[in-house]
Amino acid sequence: MDYKAPVEAYTGVVREVIIGKGNKSLKIGGENILPLHFFDQGANPNPVKFALEVLDMKPEDWPEHAIEPFKDVISDPVSWAKKCQSFAVDAVSLFLVSTDPAVKNAPADKAAALAKEVAEAISVPLIVYGSGDEKKDVEVLSKVAEVCDGMNLLIGPVLKENYEAVGKAILDHGHTAIAQSPLDINLLKELNVKLSKIFPPDRIVIDPLSSALGYGMEYSFSLIERVKQIGVITKDSMTMMPIIANLGVECWKTKQAKENKKQGLLWEGMTALSLLLAGANIIVLRHPETLKLIKETIEAR
């Protein structure tokens, strides 16, 4: 008897989300198969995308080997962002760390002006992360949204504590939102349900929190995997959003990555590859050589 391999066809489709405008835009998500299930019926029209980190101030706790690729531009976020483009990134992710009340408490309008300057200086879409301070971010992210009106930046983190205010600003000024919840699928869905009442679900990207290898990565892996399964297989509308894995910052916090360069690249690379296999749609990295390493791995070079 001839063997016929079983082929699954799923009913759920991850929403295709567009970041950026015109020739400065990219699409993420849109798949109706599980990650890498290319043998099943369906497709992933938008393979995983990569962004590199840019900080709005000179990094304070980065090891020398992480600063090295950018050492000439490390105090100038605009030039830093431009330099990222020489590493063939799909997007740049600007982190407004200086606005954190516990860091420099930099004012919102200064941060917003910088975001606009960076967005205009590069030819790829811009992701903007606030400091994560739920109160200060309302001010900062709302201002970023307003000043960058119509540029369709990907802005976050939108949290359960501030989704109404931040969500409204992101919506009013034509951007896309990163909905972030703390490594819990029930809370993740709840935030999407609530945010979706005031915000179009096809402009939401999920940030489930991405822990580093050896520091809880398996939780992030299972969670991303489960979000995809529930979205694609059981067609749960509130999990059918693409996923951003913001893992550079987590990986470079580890002792292992700080110790030496090779270890750092492998640590970040292994975490990225794992979360990519779980189903992440866009990955934010710190080191350009990690990006190169992953691209070579994907293309089997």
Partner 1 sequence: MVIIGENIHVIAKAVSTAIRERDAKVIRDLAKAQTEAGADYIDLNVGPMKKDPEENMHWLVDTVQEVTDLPLSIDTMNPVAMEAGLKNCKKRPLLNSASGKTDSKEHMLPLAKKYNCDVVISVMTDRGMPPDVDSKIESIMDTVTYANELGIPNEDIWVDPIILPVSTAGEGQRFTVANLEFIKILGDVLPGVKSTVGLSNVSNGVPDELRPLLNRVYLVMLGRNGLYSAIADPLDKELISLIKGDMPKDVELIYKTMDGEDIDLSALSQKQVEYVKTARVLMGETLYSDAWLES
By beta-carbon proximity to partner 1, the closer residue of 153 and 223 is 223
* Distance of alpha carbon 225 from alpha carbon 277, whole angstroms: 9
> In whole angstroms, how far apart are CA 207 and each of 23, 53, 86, 104, 166?
25, 16, 26, 25, 15
CB nearer partner 1, residue 138 or residue 238: 238
Is residue 69 reached through a cis peptide bond, with omega within 30 degrees of 0 on the bond before it? no
Distance of CA 59 to the CA centre of its chain: 19
Task: Output the smallest distance, CB 224 to partner 1, in A.
Answer: 12
- DSSP label at 137? H
Q: Which two tokens stand for residue 178?
A: 């990163």
For partner 1, the closer CB: 208 or 269: 208
- Min dist. Cβ of residue 238 to partner 1 (A): 5
Q: Is 124 or 240 the residue whose CB approaches partner 1 more closely?
A: 240
CA pair distance 41, 33, nearest whole angstrom = 7
The H-assigned helical ranges of 35-184 are 64-67, 77-84, 108-121, 136-147, 163-172
The whole-angstrom distance between residue 167's C-alpha and the CA centroid of its chain comes to 17
Residue among 57 and 185 whose Cβ is closer to partner 1: 185
Give per-residue burial for 57-88: e unless 16+ CB within 10 Å, then b. bebeebeebbeebbeebbeebbbbbbbbeebe
189 versus 287: smaller Cβ distance to partner 1: 189
Q: State in angstroms the smallest separation of the CB of 200 from partner 1.
A: 15
Q: Residue 66 has which token pair?
A: 């992480």
Distance in Å, CB of 63 to partner 1, minimum:
34
What's the min distance (Å) between Cβ of 193 and partner 1?
4
- CB 194 → partner 1: shortest distance, Å? 6
What are the residues binding partner 1 (CB under 8 A)?
184-190, 193-194, 196-197, 222-223, 226, 230, 234, 236-239
